[in-house]
Amino acid sequence: MKSTQRREWSKYLQVGLTAGLLGTAAMTVAMVAMHRRLPPGQRGPLPPYHISMAAAERVGMRCYLAGNSRLATTMTLHFAYGTTVGALYVPFSCIMPGRDLPKGLVFGVLVWAGSYLGWLPITGLLSPATRHPAARNALMIVAHLVWGTVIALTVHTLLNENGVEPSRPA
């Protein structure tokens, strides 16, 4: 790979990771705000907590986590996953036709479905979304729509701001 191609891919990766981080921050704020509006019986910990604790259990670390350590672990894993997967939006947007906002919405829904109906149940880290209350599913879908929207708009802004055409790099 030529040095100019590496720089171009590096720029796309930096933009994607930045967008993923900002999208995850916005998603988290939306999740907390919507969580407060759930019916009282559905206000238990949200999926990122359950996923993080199941992963900690799987690797034998849950017994070492208490109180604030559980919250810190949840937030660290949530932001790491959201940032990393959010970076995948850049190549997705290069192959997906259409405008930025709809692409971001589609990306958010695809990631929600792939996670909550796919790899999370398959790995046993979380039961499938079909077994979760409708209000909690709606909360998580809307949160992923927020995430995808912020990612798409951030990528668009950062690439246009730097004079980079948001298309497939060479």
* Buried/exposed 18-28: b ≥16 CB within 10 Å, e otherwise: bbbbbbbebbb
pTM: 0.90
Rounded average pLDDT over 127-140: 95
pLDDT tens string 2-43: 777 777 888 999 999 999 999 999 999 999 999 999 988 889
Q: Are 86 and 20 in contact (CB under 8 A)?
A: yes
Instruction: Estimate the crossing angle of helix 68-87 against helix 47-58, to 10 degrees.
Output: 100
pLDDT of residue 71: 93
pLDDT of residue 150: 98
pLDDT of residue 67: 84
Nearest-CA neighbor of 127 among 117, 112, 137?
Answer: 117
pLDDT tens string 141-159: 999 999 999 999 999 999 9
Q: What is the mean pLDDT of the chain?
A: 92
Tokens of 129: 């979304």
For residue 28, the surrounding DSSP H or E stretch is helix 3-35
Residue % of the chain over a pLDDT of 90? 81
Least confident of 92-96, 100-104, 149-153, 163-167: 163-167
